[in-house]
Amino acid sequence: MAQETPPHPFVYWAQNRSYILLRVDLKDVKNPDVQVNENCIKCSTAGVGARGNLLYEFELELHANISPLKSQYRVTPRQIDISLKKEDDEWWPKLTCSNVKPSWLKIDFDRWKTEDDEEEEALTKENLDPNPEELVEKPTFTLEKLKKMYLFIYNLWQLIGFLYIVTTLAVRYMKDGEESFPGAYESIHNALKFCQLMQILEIFHPVFGYTKGGVMEAVVQVGGRFVVLFCLIEAEPRIQTKPVIFYLVLSWSIIELFRYPYYMARVYNKDIGIITWLRYTMWIPLYPLGFVCEGVVILRNIPYFEETEKFSVALPNPWNFSFHYPTLMRIYLLFFFLPAMYSMMAHMQRQRRKKIGPYVTKSSGNKED
């Protein structure tokens, strides 16, 4: 059996006239093996990256030659910084000799410079006014700043949307109690559908390097909600008036009230303790509630879809193909519902341990699993 190839870490690169600067996005690096020759760099190390605590490797065939003896690297708690000394002090049009850029290789916009930037800095130093009080700082708008601005506005917009949903449901419940359940979905369905459609962007954020999360995690979470909302609730009006819809939408939305403020803070590398704690703690009661409600929605919908045969394909037909949607719902409930719930809960528990850490007893100070 062929041995599985170790995954690649995310590598961010920048340059100036004399150096190529690489940043390997791995935390808790152990036993790094960095090999540099005139036109190639190889790195193999254990660390915590996008796919967890694993062995990561990458190799780059460089666009031009470098000086290995003048190149160096250093390991920090959050990354590996590598400086490659160019053999000739000139600007490279690209990093590798290949015309195809690997998906895990990104541009480090925070350290990126061009030839024009260096000329401008040299000109600024020559013409710099010696009186610092007369200097006026001019704003600079880089692609990285625009990216952060977009992410902040996106997360703020989603926060406002889900806050509207929670507030509407809460006000209706305080006014009418359980009598508000039949009309709960009707009161917020447009806002919920809009916010859910917007969440599709969260699948593309890691694809384009806007965020560091895994793509499959986003696909599972966003796709699962998309199916429940549009293929179960929106497709069958009779389920929309059930009390379970009120609790399902409320659990979904409250989770987002803690998730999006955390993402807003992380856009600018802010770590606000209470927001981080809430983000990685409130899922403990809310995720099981949401999963149970989703299961109830699927179970209650089976007779409805048996009756309407919506999304089902019966024989005969031109494609000679049959599909029974209620049978798929039963198979999911019997074989995949509990594993999916366990997988998501285990993933969130791992994330919580990374961000907050395991519980520490006051008496012994030992970490408990």
Annotated catalytic residues are: 287, 294
Query: Phi and psi of 36, rounded to 5°?
Result: -125, 130
Q: Which residues contact 222 (CB under 8 A, 6 or more apart)?
A: 196, 199, 200, 202, 203
DSSP 12: E
Q: Please, what is the Cα angle at 274 between 272 and 278, to 5 degrees?
A: 120
Spatial contact of 166 and 256, defined as CB atoms under 8 Å apart:
no
- Distance from first CA to last CA of the chain, Å, rounded? 34
The sign of the CA dihedral 210, 50, 11, 21 is positive
* 3-state SS class at 101: coil
Q: Please, what is the Cα angle at 24 between 222 and 258, to 5 degrees?
A: 35
Provide the token pair at 207. 């694809």
Q: How far is residue 60's CA from residue 82's CA, in Å, rounded to a whole number? A: 13
DSSP-derived pairing of the beta strands 105-107 and 11-15? parallel
Spatial contact of 351 and 227, defined as CB atoms under 8 Å apart:
no
106 membership: H or E segment, kind and range: strand 105-107
Q: How far is residue 196's CA from residue 162's CA, in Å, rounded to a whole number? A: 10
DSSP 336: I
Query: For the purposes of burial, counting CB atoms within 10 Å of the CB of 280, is it exposed (0-12), middle (13-18) or buried (19 or more)?
Result: buried
